[in-house]
Amino acid sequence: MPAHASAGLAEYERSCEGHPGGPEAGRMIREVLDRVGDKWSLLVVATLGDDVLRFSDLLRHIPGISQRMLTLTLRQLERDGLVIRTAYAEVPPRVEYRLTALGATFVEIAHTIAQWAIANHSTIEQSRAEYDAR
């Protein structure tokens, strides 16, 4: 990655021209964000962590998510290879979800974001208050 940690994406793309990966960083970021930057994906991945959870477990651990959105989100994550779905032919049915190896690598990013969110939450709130007051 960039030698200079806070180099702009523009500069980064310049350094990429020509070789694999190419200057398409912007497009790829957008694609990843479309998947994991939606309303629930990152939260589902972060909640799974290294646990194995059932559908109803996830529903309980993620306050505010609807059954519908949990279903859709899990399907997408499964399609993208971040989550493994295991259904047991029992009655009543039991379905377990866990992260793939790829999914596990993303958890670290999720934690980085969570950490940043927690650390800067109040600063942002304050900035908003000041902005709105002008």
Partner DNA sequence: CGGAATCCCTTGGGATACTG
Partner DNA sequence: CAGTATCCCAAGGGATTCCG
93 interface partner picked from a copy of itself, DNA, none, CB below 5 to 8 A per type = DNA
Task: In whole angstroms, give the CA distance from residue 82 to residue 38.
Answer: 15
Site for a copy of itself in 62-121 (CB under 8 A): 62-64, 78-81, 102, 104-118, 120-121
59, 67 contact by CB (below 8 A): yes
Q: Where are the beta strands (DSSP E) in 1-134?
A: 53-54, 83-88, 94-99
Task: In whole angstroms, give the CA distance from residue 120 to residue 26.
Answer: 26
25 binds a copy of itself, rule: CB under 8 A: yes
- DSSP characters for 52-84? -EEHHHHHHHSTT--HHHHHHHHHHHHHTTSEE
Binding positions for DNA, rule: CB under 7 A = 38-40, 54-57, 64-69, 71, 74-75, 85, 87, 92-95
66 interface partner picked from DNA, a copy of itself, none, CB below 5 to 8 A per type = DNA
Instruction: Name which of 4 and 68 has its Cβ closer to DNA.
Output: 68
Is the torsion defined by CA of 36, 42, 46, 47 positive or negative? negative
Please state the closest distance from residue 101 (CB atom) to DNA, in A.
21
Interface positions with a copy of itself (CB under 8 A): 1-2, 4-12, 21, 25-33, 35, 37-39, 42-43, 46-51, 61-64, 78-81, 102, 104-118, 120-121, 123-124, 126-128, 131-132
